[in-house]
Amino acid sequence: MYFERLIGGASIVFGGFLLFFLIPLQVTSQPGPIDPSLFPKIAAWLFIFLGLVQLLARAQPTNFSWYEFARLAALAALVLAAAFVMPLAGFLPSAIALMAAVCAFMFERRYMWLATTIVLVPAGTWFVFVIVMGRPLPSLPF
Protein backbone atom coordinates (compact mmCIF):
# COMPACT_ATOMS: atom_id res chain seq x y z
CA MET A 1 0.00 0.00 0.00
CA TYR A 2 2.72 2.46 0.92
CA PHE A 3 4.88 1.39 -1.99
CA GLU A 4 2.18 2.40 -4.51
CA ARG A 5 1.87 5.80 -2.86
CA LEU A 6 5.64 6.18 -2.88
CA ILE A 7 5.70 5.44 -6.61
CA GLY A 8 2.86 7.93 -7.18
CA GLY A 9 4.70 10.65 -5.25
CA ALA A 10 7.95 9.93 -7.07
CA SER A 11 6.11 10.14 -10.39
CA ILE A 12 4.69 13.54 -9.45
CA VAL A 13 8.13 14.82 -8.43
CA PHE A 14 9.71 13.46 -11.63
CA GLY A 15 6.98 15.07 -13.78
CA GLY A 16 7.51 18.38 -12.02
CA PHE A 17 11.28 18.09 -12.51
CA LEU A 18 10.74 17.49 -16.22
CA LEU A 19 8.17 20.25 -16.61
CA PHE A 20 9.84 23.02 -14.63
CA PHE A 21 13.56 22.27 -14.95
CA LEU A 22 14.72 19.78 -17.56
CA ILE A 23 12.45 20.67 -20.50
CA PRO A 24 13.07 24.44 -20.31
CA LEU A 25 16.80 23.79 -19.92
CA GLN A 26 17.25 21.22 -22.72
CA VAL A 27 14.57 21.89 -25.38
CA THR A 28 15.26 24.83 -27.68
CA SER A 29 12.70 26.60 -29.81
CA GLN A 30 12.87 26.22 -33.58
CA PRO A 31 10.67 27.67 -36.27
CA GLY A 32 7.85 25.40 -37.29
CA PRO A 33 4.15 24.80 -36.87
CA ILE A 34 4.46 23.18 -33.41
CA ASP A 35 6.72 24.02 -30.47
CA PRO A 36 9.34 21.25 -29.96
CA SER A 37 8.61 21.20 -26.23
CA LEU A 38 4.94 20.23 -26.74
CA PHE A 39 5.35 16.44 -26.58
CA PRO A 40 7.81 16.47 -23.65
CA LYS A 41 5.42 18.76 -21.75
CA ILE A 42 2.52 16.40 -22.48
CA ALA A 43 4.62 13.52 -21.15
CA ALA A 44 5.52 15.51 -18.01
CA TRP A 45 1.86 16.35 -17.34
CA LEU A 46 0.99 12.67 -17.83
CA PHE A 47 3.60 11.73 -15.19
CA ILE A 48 2.01 14.23 -12.80
CA PHE A 49 -1.60 13.19 -13.52
CA LEU A 50 -0.94 9.44 -13.41
CA GLY A 51 1.16 9.91 -10.25
CA LEU A 52 -1.82 11.64 -8.64
CA VAL A 53 -4.07 8.78 -9.71
CA GLN A 54 -1.59 6.29 -8.22
CA LEU A 55 -1.26 8.36 -5.05
CA LEU A 56 -5.01 8.65 -4.47
CA ALA A 57 -6.11 5.19 -5.65
CA ARG A 58 -7.14 2.50 -3.24
CA ALA A 59 -4.33 0.04 -2.88
CA GLN A 60 -5.02 -3.62 -3.56
CA PRO A 61 -2.68 -6.25 -2.12
CA THR A 62 -0.61 -7.92 -4.83
CA ASN A 63 2.08 -10.56 -4.95
CA PHE A 64 5.47 -9.71 -6.38
CA SER A 65 6.42 -11.78 -9.42
CA TRP A 66 10.08 -12.11 -10.36
CA TYR A 67 9.01 -13.37 -13.78
CA GLU A 68 7.04 -10.20 -14.53
CA PHE A 69 9.87 -8.07 -13.14
CA ALA A 70 12.35 -9.83 -15.43
CA ARG A 71 10.07 -9.29 -18.43
CA LEU A 72 9.78 -5.58 -17.59
CA ALA A 73 13.56 -5.27 -17.14
CA ALA A 74 14.17 -7.00 -20.48
CA LEU A 75 11.70 -4.69 -22.22
CA ALA A 76 13.37 -1.64 -20.67
CA ALA A 77 16.74 -2.93 -21.90
CA LEU A 78 15.30 -3.33 -25.42
CA VAL A 79 13.98 0.24 -25.37
CA LEU A 80 17.40 1.48 -24.26
CA ALA A 81 19.09 -0.57 -27.00
CA ALA A 82 16.68 0.85 -29.59
CA ALA A 83 17.54 4.38 -28.41
CA PHE A 84 21.24 3.68 -28.94
CA VAL A 85 20.73 1.98 -32.32
CA MET A 86 18.35 4.62 -33.70
CA PRO A 87 21.04 7.18 -34.69
CA LEU A 88 22.98 4.44 -36.48
CA ALA A 89 20.17 2.55 -38.23
CA GLY A 90 17.55 5.28 -38.57
CA PHE A 91 14.15 5.75 -36.99
CA LEU A 92 12.00 3.41 -39.08
CA PRO A 93 14.12 0.22 -38.86
CA SER A 94 14.77 0.58 -35.14
CA ALA A 95 11.14 1.55 -34.37
CA ILE A 96 9.80 -1.40 -36.37
CA ALA A 97 12.14 -3.76 -34.51
CA LEU A 98 11.13 -2.24 -31.18
CA MET A 99 7.42 -2.58 -31.99
CA ALA A 100 7.97 -6.23 -32.90
CA ALA A 101 9.67 -6.78 -29.53
CA VAL A 102 6.87 -5.00 -27.66
CA CYS A 103 4.25 -7.12 -29.43
CA ALA A 104 6.21 -10.27 -28.54
CA PHE A 105 6.34 -9.21 -24.88
CA MET A 106 2.55 -8.67 -24.94
CA PHE A 107 2.06 -12.22 -26.31
CA GLU A 108 0.00 -10.89 -29.21
CA ARG A 109 -0.91 -13.74 -31.57
CA ARG A 110 -3.39 -12.15 -33.99
CA TYR A 111 -1.35 -11.80 -37.16
CA MET A 112 -3.36 -8.93 -38.66
CA TRP A 113 -2.97 -6.87 -35.47
CA LEU A 114 0.73 -7.72 -35.33
CA ALA A 115 1.36 -6.64 -38.91
CA THR A 116 -0.69 -3.48 -38.49
CA THR A 117 0.96 -2.49 -35.23
CA ILE A 118 4.51 -3.30 -36.22
CA VAL A 119 4.33 -1.36 -39.49
CA LEU A 120 1.72 1.37 -39.05
CA VAL A 121 2.67 2.72 -35.61
CA PRO A 122 6.28 3.57 -36.58
CA ALA A 123 5.21 4.75 -40.05
CA GLY A 124 2.46 6.92 -38.54
CA THR A 125 4.85 8.38 -35.98
CA TRP A 126 7.37 9.13 -38.73
CA PHE A 127 4.64 10.73 -40.88
CA VAL A 128 3.39 12.99 -38.06
CA PHE A 129 6.84 14.20 -37.01
CA VAL A 130 8.63 14.43 -40.37
CA ILE A 131 5.87 15.26 -42.86
CA VAL A 132 3.22 17.07 -40.80
CA MET A 133 5.37 18.90 -38.25
CA GLY A 134 8.63 19.14 -40.20
CA ARG A 135 10.72 17.79 -37.31
CA PRO A 136 13.58 15.51 -38.35
CA LEU A 137 13.95 11.98 -37.01
CA PRO A 138 17.10 9.89 -37.48
CA SER A 139 17.19 8.89 -41.13
CA LEU A 140 18.48 5.77 -42.83
CA PRO A 141 22.28 5.68 -43.06
CA PHE A 142 22.24 4.93 -46.80
Whole-angstrom distance, CA of residue 102 vs CA of residue 124:
17
Do 72 and 79 touch, CB atoms closer than 8 A?
A: no
Task: Compute the mean pLDDT over every residue in the chain, rounded to the nearest whole number.
Answer: 86
Terminal CA-to-CA distance of the chain, rounded, Å?
Answer: 52
Helix (H, G, I), strand (E, B) or coil at 66: helix
Specify whether 76 is located in the same domain as 45. Answer: no
Residue 32 three-state SS? coil
Residues 91, 30 share a domain: no
> What are 69-108's pLDDT values in tens digits?
899 899 999 999 998 999 888 899 999 999 999 888 888 8
CB contact at 8 A, 93 and 140: yes
Residues 13 and 56 in one domain: yes
**Amino acid letter at 64?**
F
Closest CA to 137 of 56, 65, 78, 82: 82
Q: Number of folded domains in the chain?
A: 2
Q: Decide: 47 and 12 in contact? Cβ < 8 Å.
A: yes
Q: Write down which residue in 62, 83, 113 finishes a domain.
A: 62
Q: Which residue has the higher pLDDT, 119 or 65?
A: 119
Residues in Cβ contact with 85 at an 8 Å cutoff, skipping those fewer than 6 apart: 94
Q: What average pLDDT does range 118-132 have in this prediction?
A: 90
108 and 75 part of one domain:
yes
19 confidence band (pLDDT: 50, 70, 90) = very high
Same domain, 58 and 71: no
Q: Is the pTM of this model over 0.85?
A: no
Query: 111-126 and 91-105 are packed helices; what angle lies between their axes, rounded to 10 degrees?
Result: 150
pLDDT of residue 142: 62
Instruction: Please check whether residue 138 is in contact with residue 91, taking contact to mean a CB–CB distance below 8 angstroms.
Output: yes
**Domain interval for residue 108:** 66-141
User: 54 and 73, same structural domain?
Assistant: no
- Top pLDDT among 3 and 78 is at 78
pLDDT above 70 covers a percentage of the chain that reads 94
Domain boundary pick from 27, 44, 62? 62
Q: Quote the pLDDT of residue 20.
A: 93
Which of 62, 77, 95 is the last residue before a domain boundary? 62
Between 60 and 68, name the one with better pLDDT: 68
Q: What is the pLDDT of residue 1?
A: 59
* pLDDT value of residue 105: 86
Handedness of CA 74, 41, 116, 142 (dihedral sign): negative
